[in-house]
Amino acid sequence: MEEKGHVTDLLFTLALFCVFAASALLVVLMGANVYKQTAAGMAQNYNTRTSISYLAEKIRQNDVANGIKIESIDGKDALVLEQTVGKSTYQTWIYSSDGMLREVMVAAGTKVEAADGQPIMEIENLQVEQDIPGMISLTATDLDGKVAVLKMALRCSAD
């Protein structure tokens, strides 16, 4: 009779251990799934927010009279930032092409092609608009279709 009691105790302990192990495994798997979704969401938000922040900082750095223009490369918007160094004038073109935000710096008047720019980060599209004088609107769309919009007031206007 005592042996049956020991076997029952052993089976109960073993079953309790299995329930605990299964519960622990389930909690770990749920935690891993939550982490995976959080990391994917952060990565997705990174490109749109970072691209808009990058563009905003570039605009602030070049906010001088006649220093910011909107041009076009292959039918897509391009932000053109113009700087004068000594007697030379340079232009920094920032635009989207082939799923990338790109940037190229050239001497003013140089023809810029979409393939000229160095890739900065992944982005599907960049729209740059100036609806009213002194106000610029940037719209960045990431590869998943998420859109970030920034409207900036320019401190320096054209002469």
Rounded Cα distance, 104 and 100, in Å: 13
pTM of the model: 0.72
* Distances 3 to 8, 9, 10 between C-alpha atoms, Å: 9, 10, 10
Q: What is the mean pLDDT of the chain?
A: 88
Question: 49 and 60 in contact (C-beta within 8 Å)?
Answer: no
pLDDT tens string 21-72: 999 999 999 999 999 998 887 877 777 788 899 999 999 998 888 889 999 9
* Distances 119 to 51, 97, 100, 126 between C-alpha atoms, Å: 12, 9, 6, 14
